[in-house]
Amino acid sequence: MPVLSRGVVRGQVPQPAAAAPCAAAAPLQVAGTAHVAAPPARPCVAPAPVTPQLAWGAPGEVHSLPSRRTPIQVGGELSTSYPRISQATTPPLSDWQRLAQSGWPVGQTTRVPQVEAKSFRTARDPSVPAQEALRLLKEGNARYTSGQSTRAACAEQLTALAEHGQNPMAVVLGCADSRCPVETMLDAGPGDIFVLRNAGNTCPSGEDSIVGSVEFATGALGTKLLVVMGHTKCGAIKGATQLAVAAPGSKNKACACALDRHLEALVPAAKEAATELGAGASVEAVAAAATRANVLITIRALLENSDKVRDLARSGGLELHGAVYHIESGRVEFIGQHPRIADLLAPSLLIRTARDPS
């Protein structure tokens, strides 16, 4: 059978050499190093197929041949970069061919990289301060845009979350647009972010499903950061903009559906943007400005329609920030808190009338 070396890659397989006595199998784990050796020459008798056992994740779990980035466990050492073959097996030639063709360092010794121990945040841990959570979200987006995402769920993390409960560092109200996956763009894993999404990242008339979910996350779970995130090229905002600039009387209220009613709730943001830009602004320009206006309107709606959210923000136990996701680049632009946050959190003035007691 042919013997592969590192130079045999990209589908090139040498011609079979003359049969030779079987040589001793090369050791695959030596003094802390994992050695991927070429299979020894054997007589021209086809051996029985042997399935290589490659383990990954928790000890004792055995899976099929992993991809390059799959974590695997060999000899008590965890590798996240290189697949290793257990000492007890020698794979058939087809598997070695597959390794060589994919560019693996067949015939070379490579040290298994060390893996740092990870801790998982659960309900047993303190809540993450708002500014620390904001820093972590920004760092996650930086990893995402630079192609260096690191977060992936593992059995230990899932077990910890199931047994000890969730402790998300942030609530994110984002758009339901399929191009805007919140956890992905922020390089976040399970248990990191409490995500709410709808078309246009809005909270029309204090919608209970949104307000109630925010109250649960910020109250029962103790999350201290809430981010309302819009995005560029939002279809819902563009639809609302078209309604806002449409000629009066052109709308057919009798045919209004749920989507039309939902878009109507986004029209105030479009009208505000159109007023700021002035006459002659294109629908695209108004929609782009309306995206930011809508983020601020949603923050205001959450504060106005929830005493619990407003009290938490007033006491310093919650911060509400705006953000815009740029789908063209993957970058999240954090635009800070509402410019009128102090007014929104100010106690309402009580007006005493004759109906009130003396």
Report the C-alpha gap between 25 and 2 in whole angstroms: 15
Which tens digits make up the pLDDT trace of 210-265?
999 999 999 999 999 999 999 999 999 999 999 988 766 656 565 578 998 899 99
The pLDDT of residue 92 is above 60: no
Percent of the chain surpassing pLDDT 70:
61
Q: Which of 96-110, 134-148, 232-246 has the lowest mean pLDDT?
A: 96-110
pLDDT at 352: 56
Residues 6+ apart with CB under 8 A from 258: none
Cβ(129)–Cβ(325) below 8 Å: no
Average pLDDT over residues 115-134: 83
Count of residues for the chain? 358
pLDDT at 7: 40
Rounded to the nearest integer, the mean pLDDT of the chain is 76
Average pLDDT over residues 51-72: 38
Per-domain boundaries in the chain:
130-232+302-345
Which tens digits make up the pLDDT trace of 323-354?
999 999 999 999 999 999 999 999 864 555 56
Angle between helices 283-304 and 208-215 (to 10 degrees): 60
pLDDT at 245: 83
pLDDT at 77: 41
- Indicate the pLDDT class of residue 120, thresholds 50, 70 and 90: confident
Please tell me which residue, 108 or 126, carries the higher pLDDT value.
126
- Indicate the pLDDT class of residue 54, thresholds 50, 70 and 90: very low
Q: How far is CA 341 from CA 90, 129, 294, 306, 314, in A?
A: 66, 19, 15, 15, 10
Average pLDDT over residues 168-188: 97
Helices then strands, each counted (H, E), the chain: 11, 12
Answer yes or no: is 321 a known binding residue: no
pLDDT at 272: 95
pLDDT at 66: 38
pLDDT at 24: 45
3-state DSSP call for residue 341?
Answer: helix
Answer yes or no: is 177 a known binding residue: yes
- Indicate the pLDDT class of residue 294, thresholds 50, 70 and 90: very high
pLDDT at 141: 96
Average pLDDT over residues 191-196: 97
* pTM check: above 0.85: no
Task: Assign domain 130-232+302-345 to its CATH superfamily.
Answer: Carbonic anhydrase (3.40.1050.10)
Exposed/middle/buried for residue 41 (C-beta within 10 Å: 0-12, 13-18, 19+): middle
pLDDT at 128: 95
DSSP secondary structure letter of residue 178: T
Q: Which of 149-158, 293-302, 309-318 has the lowest mean pLDDT?
A: 149-158
Structure tokens at 341: 């946050």
pLDDT at 206: 85
With CA atoms as reference, report the closest residue to 285 among 293, 273, 296: 273
The pLDDT of residue 75 is above 90: no
Residue pointed to by tokens 């784990």: 29
